[in-house]
Amino acid sequence: PALPSTPLSQALVDLALKDEDWHTRLASAHALRCVAEADEESAAALREMYALPLFSAVHSLPKSEEELRSILMATLGVDRLAQRLREMAEAEEAGESDDEGELCIICQIGLHKSPQERLPCGHSFHAACINDWFDWKRKCARDSPSGS
């Protein structure tokens, strides 16, 4: 499966974020999540094109729309990244301080705490962090201005 056409994807994003009817917004968000869950390539393309408007919406939704927020977060893969960050933070608390070396620019936890990956540009990151980063962007997190 491939990402639906740009007009269809844009329509689903617009409906999920702006439609006045709650059920239409929820159904559109479910459709976006289904696209993201269908295959990794579609998920990466969806996040690449619509991450900013979806993230903006997630952070501005009122508490009464928690179900919609949850669906959009799953669509963006935030739950997977958050789980990895929690695991790394727990490992950090159980281990030593970060005095021993450089921090991963993505999660801000010491690089010595988890398996590392060095990119051709010479920058190092936790392997899990950079793999998730590359789901979003195809540039080194250090080489990208402001992480974008």
User: CA torsion 82→86→87→92, rounded to 10°?
Assistant: 140
User: CB atoms < 10 A from the CB of 9, how many?
Assistant: 19
Cα of 65 vs its chain's centroid, Å: 20
Residue 67 in tokens: 């179900």
Q: Distance (Å, rounded) from C-alpha 76 to C-alpha 70?
A: 10
Residue ranges in the chain whose pLDDT is less than 70: 1-5, 79-101, 113, 144-148
Residue 33 in tokens: 């999540």
pLDDT value of residue 100 = 54
3-state secondary structure of 106: coil
Could you tell me which of 60, 57, 67 has the C-alpha nearest to residue 17?
Answer: 57
Query: Which amino acid is located at 78 in the chain?
Result: V
The string of pLDDT tens digits covering residues 80-94 is 666 666 666 666 666
pLDDT value of residue 24 = 92
pTM beyond 0.75? no
User: CB atoms < 10 A from the CB of 36, how many?
Assistant: 20
Phi/psi-derived region of residue 116, left when phi > 0, alpha when psi is between -120 and 50, beta in every other case: beta
